Amino acid sequence: MKVADGFWLSKQGYNVNYASQAYKVETTENSIKVLATPYTVLNRGMTLGGPNLEITYSSTSENIIKVHIDHYRGGLDNIPRYELNEDTGYTPEITRTEDKVTLKSGDTRVEIKIADDWEVQYYYKDKLLTGGAWRSTSIINESQYTANARMNTQEDDQFFNYPQDPHTTYLREQLKTDIGECIYGFGEKFTPFVKNGQTVETWNCDGGTCSDQSYKTVPFYISSKSYGVLVNSSDKVSFEVMSDTVSKVTFTVPGEELEYFIIGGENLEHVLENYTTLTGKPALPPAYSFGLWLSTSFTTSYDEKTVNSFIDGMAERKIPLQVFHFDCFWMKGYEWCNFEWDDEMFPDPEGMLKRLHDKGLEICVWINSYIAQQSKLFDIGKEKGYFIKNLDGSVFQCDMWQPGMAIVDFTNPEACAWFKGLLKKLFDMGVNNIKTDFGERIPTKVKYYDGSDPIKMHNYYTYLYNKCVFEALEEYYGKDKACLFARSATVGGQKFPVHWGGDCYAEYSAMSETLRGGLSLCSSGFGFFSHDMGGFEATAPADVYKRWCAFGLLSTHSRLHGSTSYRVPWAYDKDGDTEACDVLRHYTVLKGKMMPYLWAQANKTHQVGVPMMRSMIIAFSDDTACKYLDQQYMLGDNLCIVPVMNEEGIAEFYVPDCGTWTDIQSGETYEGGKYYTRKCDYFQTPILARPNSIVTYGNFDAEGKMNVLYDYLQDAEAVVYGLEDGKTATATIYDQESNKLTDIAATRYGDKVTVSYTATDKSFKITVAGKTVEAAAGTTSVDITL
């Protein structure tokens, strides 16, 4: 929200009052309370007016500073609140001197100047992170004339644009940035990865991947200086990222209160660990979900015969398939959602699902939270009061997707129980996963069962929707066995994985958009990410399809899905050419072999909160070159992935300066701290192993089943890459249920490498510099001479 007219003036119709003096500073056992005045109070007569701001600094978790700003405190308590893990008993260290007061939480602290000049600074240890001084914290009053004029000219579309904003008061914070500092995050943003210079508004929209709109908005950003900022509001938060005052990140919220958190850390991985401690760690998806998913696609026509032709076709071509997904038309048209199979296309759904399970497949079906008027559930929901209502008490309905559709009100506990009951019937049939589509087109001129503010519910709705479905899966299948395929999200949505990137076009530019969106989302606390391999809209050329298959199978989750055409690989092979099938098989098998490594990394993401798929700057916070990289990423701790996204087959990438990296496929080595250009065929996507690391590969085809659920230790191979003298590389291997099987550590002393591991009843191999030895069952170490 740009209010400034240059630096000195404000736009006509806006009056801005800045916190200018910490007029009164009080400390309690766990907080600092400041009465901030808009001018320096020189005498008692100047206390007769305002507007004043009441600011409380506290901490409810280590290394997180909480800032709460009030103008008026007499508002309604009808605001949906993010579910945060706050420890109200946590006691930070508070000290006061003559000129400043300090609150210290772990290694993160805030210092507030006690003087006539406003100044607040945030530090991690001795490093200044950010802060504000003159013209930073402010209250903005919009004149009624300006407000009326704005509302008379503002298009009011409850779904695609922002609703008319009735507020005339806004609270704003401006946090300074350093020279060369880069800002990332804000949820899934398809705009340039570095957000400097952008205006970002958190308002969930169904806008595809080629615009500045987002399916998943998160009012949280991270900085290349290794700190994060969460604005604790589900309203439309407007961020000006060095685009209003070019040396500051400005965020503005409508209304009378503003709350945000400053999150410190040793590096960006530590910052995200702290952030997910506050907002929730990603749940652990079941191990099978890391295999290949195949979809019926969206508007295509299909029945059981069609489904079997896909599944049998994959088997005939020896392409391992793990999950089969039924998209929208598993239900009859005009009846979405009725949670009933189209009996004309699927006369025996229970039998069909059993037959698919017998082939070793898990099953996913599409849903959303909209109930069409033709659905037999509409009258039930209307009678019971399970839908969002208009202001006059009637059911909100529209034709924007399904004719006459209503929207389930998840603030109503009975509606949640009803929705879960509908899902349970599907689980009883054999459905294992749910694709929770939509959740962005949520109206604002409505009322909810619990009286929640409807504007603030627009973004928050998706949290309740996905939470309800995830809980239903978890209640039925158990902890660590629940898996969504969700499109919309907000703060805390990472607790309900997996999320995919929405409707992308079938071209290279959309691959790049998708990667930027995924890296931004994973910079916002989300641990797992997928996308529509081959692109959703239109049909990709074989060239794009093959490159996207590599990219998709080198993401955490991998799904073939499209709109008006199928995504089976033989559809892209012409005149006897089978290369699309060969490429898909190559990367599917490779991912299957990598399961011991990938599964260990998934467990770390769940336990710690560091995203499994992460940008280079998150992994290498001290490497300046990594600040701007958005066409490559780390998959777990030890593998750098460089998707090829051009017809020429050229991969351009940077190798971080931490030793010599190794391509796990070709064996080529790359000295760190340099940029490289490499021409790649479809089987040569660069996959670079970090120096001083271990990547474990499993015996994927142990029983000829090519199933990602196998013994991750027996006959596995732990490959040690780029081990330097005096260094140690480590790895952990878990079974499918996340029970630790062994810890491996390899240490080099000159030409000798000693590899130690926890004794097990299984045997596996260890490879260092091309030399392979067996770690026999019951042993605990081996030595390898280079």
Whole-angstrom Cα distance, residue 564 to residue 559? 16
The C-alpha atoms of residue 248 and residue 240 are separated, in whole angstroms, by 8
Contacts of 750 (CB under 8 A, 6+ apart): 725
Whether 630 is catalytic is no
Give the three-state DSSP class for 360: coil
- Asked if residue 206 lies in contact with residue 250, where contact means CB atoms within 8 angstroms, the answer is no
Q: For residues 68 and 181, what is the distance between their CA atoms, to the nearest angstrom?
A: 25
Decide the pairing of beta strands 108-113 and 499-500: unpaired
User: With left for phi above 0 and alpha for psi between -120 and 50, is residue 360 left, alpha or beta?
Assistant: left
Mapping DSSP to helix (H, G, I), strand (E, B) and coil, where does residue 174 land? strand
Question: How far apart, in Å, are the Cα atoms of 290 and each of 193, 679, 720?
Answer: 26, 29, 24
| 188, 240, 327, 503: the active-site residue | 503
Closest CA to 188 of 454, 615, 489: 489
510, 511, 513, 517: CA torsion to nearest 10? 130
> Do residues 464 and 242 touch, judged by C-beta distance below 8 A?
no
Which of 173, 335, 440, 532 is flagged as catalytic?
440
- Tally Cβ neighbours within 10 Å of residue 394: 10
Closest by CA to 783, choosing from 732, 743, 741, 749, is: 749
Q: Is the dihedral of CA 236, 241, 246, 250 positive or negative?
A: positive
**CA neighbours within 13 Å on the CB side: how many for 623?**
19
Q: Are 209 and 190 in contact (CB under 8 A)?
A: yes
Contact criterion met (CB below 8 Å) for 713 and 733: yes
CA-CA distance, 216 to 230, in Å (whole number)?
15
Catalytic residue chosen out of the listed positions 244, 327, 340, 437: 437
The string of DSSP letters for 291-307 reads SEEEE--SS----HHHH
> Could you give the CA distance from residue 113 to residue 32 in angstroms, rounded to a whole number?
12
Active site residue 392: no
Closest C-alpha among 115, 116, 117 to residue 101: 115
Report the distance separating Cα 567 and Cα 314, nearest Å.
Answer: 12
Q: Is 244 a catalytic residue?
A: no
Nearest-angstrom CA–CA distance, 670 and 651: 14
Provide the CA 36 distance to its chain's centre, in angstroms: 36
**Closest to 605 (Cα-Cα) out of 415, 469, 738:** 738
**Residues labelled catalytic:** 437, 440, 503
